Structure 1
Amino acid sequence: MALSTLKKDRERGFLDGQFLIAMPGMTDGNFARAVVYICAHSQAGAMGFIINRSQPVTFADVLLHLELIDKNDAIMLPDHARHFPIQSGGPVETGRGFVLHSDDYLSDSSIPISDDISLTATLDIVRAISDGRGPRRATMLLGYAGWGPGQLEFEIANNGWLNCAATEELIFDRVLDSKYERALALMGVSPAMLSMEAGHA
């Protein structure tokens, strides 16, 4: 799905604001044990972000790459900026950064995803975060996950994904290793149950 279809005035699809949780039989290595937050879903396809993949890049690295600071400034970054989370959002456009954040920060380029969560992919939010003027809760993701028309529906129908309502708490939680299990727990499901049921429609 092209990012250009993610517009403020779009109609929300039935998977918008939902979690997708990969089933054990997921064959695409990009999505093994993935929890994906879906930002847009329509007849044109779907796009979202994996929220439980770490990324070796730091926020200081991003600021240096964008030439918003120099190496001397990087040493002086305040704690909130130094420890700001950067995650791997998916296999598409991995050099591009996106910020999922609470709705207390809005710029002209922010796109509301749900009643509480917005997406901003412009330098203004990066500057705001580094200056301490950013949103209350946020995470930066490099890259995104995308599906063409009908592709995600096909994968769900073929037992590739479970879906459930997303929670802000889990999206912004910085403990990534257990997010898969905790996302399943939202549905009252354990990984052991999935292993037993995989392959049975």
Structure 2
Amino acid sequence: MELTFLVANPYLQGDYFQESVILILEHDEKGALGLIINQESNASIADVVEGGTSQDAVLLGGPVDQKFGWCLYRYPTGMEGEIKLGGNTCVSTSYLILQHLMQSLGSEYQLIMGYSGWGAGQLEKECQEGTWLWVHMDDSLIFDTPIEERWSTAIASLGIEPAQIMPGGAKA
């Protein structure tokens, strides 16, 4: 099952979201919530989680509440607090699930601090302005693609090169 991602327009320069790929968790008439999946922090999981040993980088999910953690992972645990996003991909804010994944050999997970949020109508307005491209892909973008290649891979999935994208948004 495909997941929905927002991919920053190549013309979005000098902004926090430059070359960002955001996994959309929720989008309705009240607004939207998502996690940037390609912006590394300077900290490893071992640096921020007590008992953590992974040297994998903690990702920055967005500018909102960067002390709040999200665990994005590939296979359901069946534990309370798990939200299935599509296919086998799940997200949780449960520390117990994070601990379980850290202790399970071969678990595919990413720790993400903070999130990206939009108020009612804000994301739609940004899309009309051309800030974001909508991309539907499976979880291989998250779990099988190196972090530094996620933006270019997402753009390429549209069948276009970044230079083919025009600045500005939809004009009617």
Q: What's the TM-score once normalised by structure 2's chain length?
A: 0.88
Structure 1: tracts of 5 or more residues without a match? 1-15
Matched, 1:189 2:160: yes
Q: Distance in 1 between matches of 2:21 and 2:40?
A: 12
Q: Is the 8 A contact 2:74 2:143 kept in 1?
A: no
Q: Is the 8 A contact 2:8 2:131 kept in 1?
A: yes
Task: Name the structure 1 match of 2:39.
Answer: 53
Aligned ranges 1:1-201 → 2 under 5 Å = 17-26=3-12, 29-64=15-50, 69=51, 77=53, 82-132=54-104, 136-173=107-144, 175-194=146-165, 197-199=166-168, 201=170
**AA at the equivalent of 1:184:** I
Structure 2: tracts of 5 or more residues without a match? none
Q: What is the RMSD of the two structures over their aligned residues, measured on CA atoms?
A: 2.1
Q: What's the TM-score once normalised by structure 1's chain length?
A: 0.76
Q: C-alpha deviations, 1:136-180, integer Å up to 9, x for none?
A: 321111111100011001111111111021321111246222211
Cα 1:200–1:55 shift into 2, 3 Å: closer
Q: Which moved more, 1:114-123 or 1:37-46?
A: 114-123
Q: Is the 8 A contact 2:6 2:134 kept in 1?
A: yes
Q: Is the 8 A contact 2:127 2:169 kept in 1?
A: no
Q: C-alpha deviations, 1:40-80, integer Å up to 9, x for none?
A: 1011100011111011111111223xxxx3xxxx6xx4xxx
Q: How many residues align?
A: 169
Q: CA deviation at 1:127?
A: 1.3
Q: Distance in 1 between matches of 2:169 and 2:82?
A: 41
Q: CA deviation at 1:27?
A: 6.1
Q: Is the 8 A contact 1:17 1:39 kept in 2?
A: no
Q: Distance in 1 between matches of 2:12 and 2:138?
A: 23
**AA at the equivalent of 2:76:** D
Q: CA deviation at 1:17?
A: 3.0
Q: Is the 8 A contact 2:129 2:168 kept in 1?
A: no
Larger Cα-atom Rg: 1
Q: CA deviation at 1:105?
A: 1.8
Q: CA deviation at 1:200?
A: 6.3
Q: Is the 8 A contact 2:131 2:168 kept in 1?
A: no
Identity %: 28
Q: Distance in 2 between matches of 1:110 and 1:184?
A: 29
Q: CA deviation at 1:124?
A: 0.6
